[in-house]
Amino acid sequence: MGIVEEKVAELKKYRPKLTKQEDFEDFWQLAIEELFPGETGSASWKINVESQKILEEYKVRFDLELEEYPYPLKHIKVYKATIEASDGTILHGWYLSPVEAGSDNKVPALVRFHGYSSNKGKICELLLWALQGYAILAMDVRGQCGDTPDPREYTSGSFSGWMTLGLDSPMEYYYRQVYLDSIQTIEALVRRPEVDSTKIGLFGNSQGAALAIISSALITRFKDRVGGITARIAGINAGVPFLTDMQRAYKEHTDGPWAEFDWYFRMHDPLHEKEDEIFTYLSYFDAMNFAPWVNSPVLLAVGLKDTVCPPPTSFALYNHLAGKKEIMVYPDYGHESIDSHVDKQISFFASLLL
């Protein structure tokens, strides 16, 4: 057995115990019901963190607002896309679809989620998929480096970045709303008249991989309990996933966003007296804890030299996935977009959606 084979064989055995809390499922059902209150009433958009009571109400919509954007290709329509999130924030993105797509000629569709501290990306990046015949939607993650703000109020300070925003409570934590935004984005795409709602794929790298996995998990878990969810996910490609097996990721990182916690502890808790409490809060957002709810086929990519999301954390996610799955291991890649993986990704989605 070679060096790489030996290492991979050991990683495939790594299946840490899930860290989800007893109320993990109830916590997320309450969140999903904010988006889908049977679509007969209003959904909460401002909640008192302590009492968990609704302060204001808001009717969540799933309509993409599209503004055609001039682009010199005859076969693809390009649009600036916006949607009003469940807290009133306007999310910005791109939407591309084949010219021939319509209500009488529905096409498969993809949602691309971007990495940490990035944005919706460039049109040319999305053409790879639109030219294959997919409709594709890519939206900013709120507050990061795109056109979408994060106007939410947090009851305490944080270190530069987004990882420590709202750490006083899982109800207030930054990623709670980001995960809801992601589900709303998927549902908005599915309801487009030119989209085949039975052929939806999700993909992304790093943070984007986590958002794809977690969105699919929440949709799958609650689609039969919460009225109004029409999305069904046919496949997921997750590259070098972030936000998974969080405790080990924090212990082993040598680069990337986990360093925000190093500084957070230095400034707010230098003796780590609240460390257990903080990682209890973070357990509600750990992609590993959502993995057993995913039953769509998953193609996962990992670089063995990743110092941002250490390889064991990707295997922790992979080994807890419940459905059909495949992991591609790239021994000499780190935390990056793996060019060699793109052809595999194209084949994966083509086999499921085209």
In the residue annotation, 253 being an active-site residue is answered as: no
Q: How far is CA 311 from the centre of its chain?
A: 19
Which of 62, 60, 63, 58 is closest to 47 using CA atoms? 58
Strand order in the sheet with 325-330: 65-68, 76-84, 90-98, 135-139, 107-113, 195-205, 235-239, 298-303, 325-330
The answer to whether residue 306 is catalytic is yes
- Taking Cα atoms as reference points, which of 196, 138, 169, 137 lies closest to residue 48? 169
As beta bridge partners, residue 113 has: 204
* Cα distance between residue 250 and residue 286, in whole Å: 12
Whole-angstrom distance, CA of residue 29 vs CA of residue 24: 9
List the beta bridge partners of residue 183: none
The single residue of 92, 114, 320, 335 carrying the catalytic annotation is 335
Which residue in 306, 314, 320, 341 is the catalytic one?
306
Strand positions, DSSP E, the chain:
43-47, 54-58, 65-68, 76-84, 90-98, 107-113, 135-139, 195-205, 235-239, 298-303, 325-330
Catalytic site residue from 44, 86, 206, 216: 206
Q: What letter represents residue 135's amino acid? A: A
Contact between residue 243 and residue 233 where contact means Cβ atoms under 8 Å apart: no
Q: Indicate if 335 belongs to the active site.
A: yes
Q: What is the DSSP string of 183-213?
A: HHHHHHHHTSTTEEEEEEEEEEETHHHHHHH
Question: Which structure tokens are listed for 156?
Answer: 């305490």
User: Active-site residue numbers?
Assistant: 206, 306, 335
